[in-house]
A and B are shown apart, each in its own frame.
Chain A
């Protein structure tokens, strides 16, 4: 705009010359007016472009040979993106993935109904899968798939299936907590006042409370929740902020899923925290899952089932063990050496489907004041 010295001087002189149009706003040299017009034209052009682009973006990349597959994934691209790329490379199926929150995608699928573009729903927790199954949004999976995992890792009605498992653990600071407690019920003791964190809004935590209600009863669960609050529990918005807070020294123990710690160690090998498994047979030893389901509205069963089969295969199960530090659900692949094997963990004997009773848990969490 600096190359219009003539305009500038005209503008500056305008108050004295009294020329009608130039007087309109002498503070605004013609450079500004030109700028405004360019901006305005630019905006109009952009608007036109937007709708032009949107009109021709439909099904631009349809793969004629092998078809395509649309996945709604509540698991992040950093975690499962590389795996999905391998599936594409091996099968030639063009996969389109929408990454978003597990809960938001579940609700979006319900809102879309029959018109949903998705074939597969890939979730971070069993609660969302169970909610979709209950709403009739899922198709039953064939027996040969369900039989590939142990009974506790598939829905009793075969509407969804687990692809990997995560254990509930205590993340703790080895420096400040030489002897972490062996039961979550010990955390209400005076010793742990103000030293423990939890994430009441987190789906895994809520599943854990649901498990506690099923195993130990409503009263014991309520007493535990109230005891934790009375013991000055620190509230966090999720699992990873607790792991961070243990590392920072803000808390000494956090109630989390086991695999977050491995991510922190990958980012910073010197990260000062460790996992501790609690309560064999009790709620503290719950195994939560990530799982997958085929949508009722999908007319792409072959490719969708190929994808689920791939997730349960040796390659994907090894990937979950090595890359996302989770428990494989297939018997063919063993768990990481540093994790306690699933069979020794003896998770609470309750069907994951029963974790779908979130309503009671939410009511309880609200009643004790843990949730707004």
Chain B
């Protein structure tokens, strides 16, 4: 780097000549706030009774339930995801490649399907109880209420943390761990004192994704009969069709989300997570698990058995019943194509929109960057139905030609899932030394060229993580798809929901299994084929 020290007028970092970066970042964050604008417009039309309803003791109870559930699910998800990420990325775990793909698939299980499957399997008279009844077990602890919602949501949302942590781990410089080891720390000590603190950004970003998902979930809490605020919103809206009541209640939810985002804000520090000084990070050595190989494998197998095998077994049972009755499965393949098309597009658009925000947040920290970042989370934390109504409202007024087209649907997905893409990107971007970008700029590359040829390759794991998160979440998205998709654009998720409602269980199972397949295949291609640290 000494050659560069004589250069005056050093081009600082990744600077785009026009504030294009800021314009793009602000536009993306503003788009995510469209639902909030809609809520304000609708809530202004609400009568006083709707507001009086909000300030009742019931609201407090619901908010408390919601906060409790969000906290618990986040904590257990982190407890699951951190060791899973470490085992699959940094150890000589057998079949690590395979585990890397398979451990994120539970994300694609719609939470109401997972909840239903858990009731069939672990409910009061479920398969587990029947399995245990010869042993004299008359009843097992009830799944309904908090426990069921907590279990279901943990097992189907931990991959948010897992994917983001893994992207962070992948870019982690092993030098600090090695320094800790050389100073006498055990492998555990180095993990807790060095690796985990280094993962602060992905841990925080992933936790935020999980917590906000729990706040906006309806499927699992409805199946498990646990009263959260979102459930109350759906219940009241479902009976009254009153959009101003919906808006008033949703604004309360926004307030709760604001608290969560404020906590996250206060926790974030502008610490450096990239390497300082000359030289580059080397590939980390794989930790030899030795005698822990099989306990570790057994642990992963157990988690996957509950999160994936149980739902799949229940689905196959339904499918087998239907096949015996000669059930037909119309529209299966076109729904699969629609699902893949919409999810891939949503992943691509969300990542593209997230890139400027991630760059601003990491490279230009400050109040404006933080506001943009927080704003991007608004759409994600709201129930999908709110986003759907907001886009009905604005699309018909502003872009009537786009109403109920694929374009508006993809836009809705991007509004809903933008933070997932940002989280993936941020976790990678914080590890990239600004000096490398500066070097590229000093070697006459402009900002766009530098981004494309230097930064982008370095944050590939983050791009991949962000894309996968959005892809998998879009696969199972329901309320916005039902209302905003082009007419006749049925997806696996919408078919699955409708057929389950109408008690066509075999058809629903076929759609659900195909959905899992469509989710798994790209993940196996993306993660099974990618760089193995052992190479």
Pick from A39, A53, A201, A203: contact of B460, CB below 8 A: A39
B323-356, CB under 8 A of A: which get 1 and which 0?
A: 0010100110000000000001101110110000
A219-271 interface with B by 8 A CB criterion:
235-238, 240-241, 243, 245, 248-250, 260, 263-264, 266-269
Q: Which residues of A contact B345 (CB under 8 A)?
A: 46-47, 49-50
Which one, B240, B351, B452, contacts A43 given CB within 8 A?
A: B351
Among residues of B, the one whose C-beta sits closest to the C-beta of A20 is: B439
Contact B232 A359 (CB under 8 A): no
CA distance A60 to B33 in the complex (A): 32
B501 & A76 in contact (Cβ 8 Å cutoff)? yes
Q: Which residues of B contact A338 (CB under 8 A)?
A: none
A206 at interface by CB-CB < 8 Å: yes
Known: A50-B349, A362-B236. A96 touches B487 (CB 8 A): yes
Report the separation of the CA atoms of residues A358 and B345 in the bound assembly, to the nearest whole angstrom: 41
B242 partner residues in chain A, CB cutoff 8 A: 107
A112 to chain B, nearest CB (A): 6
Q: Chain B's nearest CB lies how many Å from the CB of A42?
A: 7
Main secondary structure of the interface of B (DSSP, over half): helix
Q: Are A24 and B347 in contact (CB under 8 A)?
A: no
Kindly supply a per-residue 1/0 record for chain A positions 76-116, scoring 1 wherever the CB is within 8 Å of any chain B CB and 0 otherwise: 11110100000000000000111111011111101110010
Interface size, chain B (Cβ < 8 Å)? 93
Contact check, A36 vs B456: say whether CB atoms are below 8 A apart: yes
Nearest opposing residue in chain B for A99, CB measure? B498
Q: From the candidates A43, A55, A359, A366, name the one contacting B407 in the complex (CB within 8 A).
A: A55
Contacts of B280 in A (CB 8 A): 14-15, 23-27
Q: Does A337 touch B at the CB level, under 8 Å?
A: no
Task: Please name all residues of chain B whose beta carbon is closer than 8 Å to the beta carbon of A46 when the two chains form the complex.
Answer: 344-345, 348-349
CB <8 Å contact, A267 and B406: no
* CB <8 Å contact, A40 and B463: yes
Chain B, 210-225, CB within 8 A of any chain A CB: 222-223, 225
- A57/B498 in contact, CB under 8 A: no
Is B91's CB within 8 Å of the partner chain A?
A: no
Question: Within 8 Å CB of B401, what residues of A?
Answer: 58
Interchain CB contact under 8 A, A76 and B243:
no
Interface-located stretch among B73-81, B155-163, B185-193, B388-396: B388-396
Q: What A residues does B9 contact at CB under 8 A?
A: none
Q: Which chain B positions have C-beta within 8 A of A32?
A: 457, 460, 530-531
State which of B17-25, B122-130, B265-273, B295-303 sits at the interface with chain A: B122-130
Residues of B within 8 A of A81 (CB): 330
Nearest CB to that of A247 among chain B residues?
B125
Q: Residue of B at shortest CB range from A114?
A: B396
Q: Are B241 and A128 in contact (CB under 8 A)?
A: yes
A28 and B460 form a contact (CB under 8 A): yes
How far apart are A141's CB and chain B's nearest CB, in angstroms? 21
**B404 and A27 contacting across the interface, CB-CB below 8 Å:** no
Say yes or no: A111 contacts B457, CB within 8 Å.
Answer: no
Asked whether A372 is an interface residue with its Cβ less than 8 Å from the other chain, the reply is yes
Known: A110-B243, A131-B241. A24 touches B502 (CB 8 A): no
Verify if A331 is at the interface (C-beta below 8 Å from B). Answer: no
Partner of B352, one of A26, A43, A243, A366: A43
- A105–B283 alpha-carbon span in the complex (Å): 54
Q: CB of B410 within 8 A of chain A? A: yes
Q: How far is the CB of B448 from chain A (nearest CB, A)?
A: 12
Q: Given A44-B348, A131-B241, is A237 in contact with B125 using a C-beta cutoff of 8 Å?
A: no
B406 contacts A39, C-beta separation under 8 Å: no
Give the one of B238, B282, B464, B530 with max A CB within 10 A.
B238
Residue from B223, B436, B483, B504 in contact with A24 in the complex, judged by beta carbons closer than 8 Å? B436
- Decide: A266 near B325, CB < 8 A? Known: A70-B487, A107-B389: yes
Residue interface bits A108-134, CB-to-B below 8 A is 1, else 0:
101110010100000000011001000
Shortest distance between the CB of A320 and any CB in chain B (Å):
14
Nearest-Cβ distance from residue A334 to partner chain B, whole angstroms = 24
Q: In whole angstroms, how far apart are the Cα atoms of A24 and B275 in the complex? A: 12
Per the bound structure, the CA–CA distance linking A44 and B350 in Å amounts to 11
Q: Give chain A residues whose Cβ lies under 8 Å from the Cβ of B483.
A: 98, 100, 104-105, 108
Residue A263 contacts which of B123, B348, B392, B504 (CB distance < 8 angstroms)?
B504
Which residues of chain B have C-beta atoms less than 8 A from A78's C-beta? 498-499, 502, 504, 507
CB distance from A175 to the nearest CB of B (A): 13
Are the CB atoms of A39 and B58 closer together than 8 Å? no
* Interchain CB contact under 8 A, A36 and B457: yes
Q: In B289-310, which residues have CB < 8 Å from any A CB? A: none
Q: A36-B460, A44-B352, A97-B488 are in contact. Are A372 and B494 (CB under 8 A)?
A: no
Complex: chain A residue closest to B390, CB-CB: A111
Q: A27-B283, A263-B503 are in contact. Are A47 and B352 (CB under 8 A)?
A: yes
Please name all residues of chain B whose beta carbon is closer than 8 Å to the beta carbon of A26 when the two chains form the complex: 280-283
A120-165 interface (Cβ within 8 A of B): 127-128, 131
Interface status of A1 (Cβ within 8 A of chain B):
yes
Q: Is B385 an interface residue (CB 8 A)?
A: yes
Q: Establish whether residues A237 and B223, one from each chain, have CB atoms under 8 Å apart when the complex forms.
A: yes
Q: Is A37 an interface residue (CB 8 A)?
A: yes
| Most chain A CB inside 10 Å of its own CB: which residue of B239, B282, B499, B530 | B239
> Which residues from chain A contact B124 at a C-beta distance below 8 Å?
250
Interface centre among B388, B404, B467 (most CB of A within 10 A): B404
Give the docked Cα–Cα distance between A362 and B410 (Å).
Answer: 36
Among A8, A55, A77, the one with the most B-chain Cβ atoms within 10 Å of its Cβ is A77
Is B454 at the interface (CB under 8 A from chain A)? yes
Quote the shortest CB–CB distance from B119 to chain A (angstroms).
8
Q: Is B321 an interface residue (CB 8 A)?
A: yes
* B237 lies within 8 A of chain A by Cβ: yes
Given A8-B535, A70-B487, A249 and B235 touching (CB < 8 A)? no
Contacts of B393 in A (CB 8 A): 111
B373 close to chain A: CB less than 8 A: no
Is B407 touching A51 in the complex (CB atoms < 8 A)? Answer: yes
Whether a CB of chain B sits under 8 angstroms from the CB of A31 is yes
Closest CB-CB distance, B469 to chain A, in whole Å?
14
Q: Smallest Cβ distance from B89 to chain A, in angstroms?
A: 12
- Chain A residues in 8 Å Cβ range of B494: 99-100
**Is the pair A249, B236 in contact by a Cβ cutoff of 8 Å?**
no
Do residues A206 and B239 form an inter-chain contact, with CB atoms below 8 A? yes
Chain A stretch 188-240: residues in CB contact (< 8 A) with chain B: 201, 203, 206, 235-238, 240
- With beta carbons under 8 angstroms apart, the residue of A108, A117, A267 that contacts B322 is A267
Select which of A36, A43, A250 is within 8 A of B347 by beta carbon.
Answer: A43
How far does the alpha carbon of A267 sit from the alpha carbon of B498 in the complex, in Å? 16
Is the pair B503, A267 in contact by a Cβ cutoff of 8 Å? yes
A20 to B278, CA, bound (A): 11
Whether B257 is near chain A, meaning CB under 8 Å from some CB there, is no
Residues of A within 8 A of B (CB): 1, 8, 14-15, 20, 23-29, 31-33, 35-37, 39-40, 42-44, 46-47, 49-51, 53-55, 57-58, 70, 76-79, 81, 96-101, 103-108, 110-112, 115, 117, 127-128, 131, 201, 203, 206, 235-238, 240-241, 243, 245, 248-250, 260, 263-264, 266-269, 358-359, 362, 366, 371-372
Closest 7 CB pairs of A and B: A54-B407, A43-B348, A33-B457, A263-B503, A36-B460, A54-B405, A100-B482
User: 5 additional contacts, CB 8 Å, given A40-B456, A54-B405, A237-B222?
Assistant: A23-B280, A24-B436, A32-B531, A37-B456, A98-B483
Q: Which residues of B contact A (CB under 8 A)?
A: 58, 62, 116, 119-120, 123-126, 222-223, 225, 227, 231-232, 235-243, 246, 280-283, 318, 321-322, 325, 327, 330-331, 344-345, 347-349, 351-352, 385, 388-389, 392-393, 396, 400-408, 410, 436, 439, 452, 454, 456-460, 463-464, 467, 479, 482-483, 486-488, 490, 494-495, 498-499, 501-507, 529-531, 535
Q: List 12 A-B contacts (CB under 8 A).
A: A23-B280, A25-B281, A36-B460, A39-B467, A104-B388, A104-B483, A107-B237, A108-B388, A117-B487, A248-B125, A263-B502, A266-B325
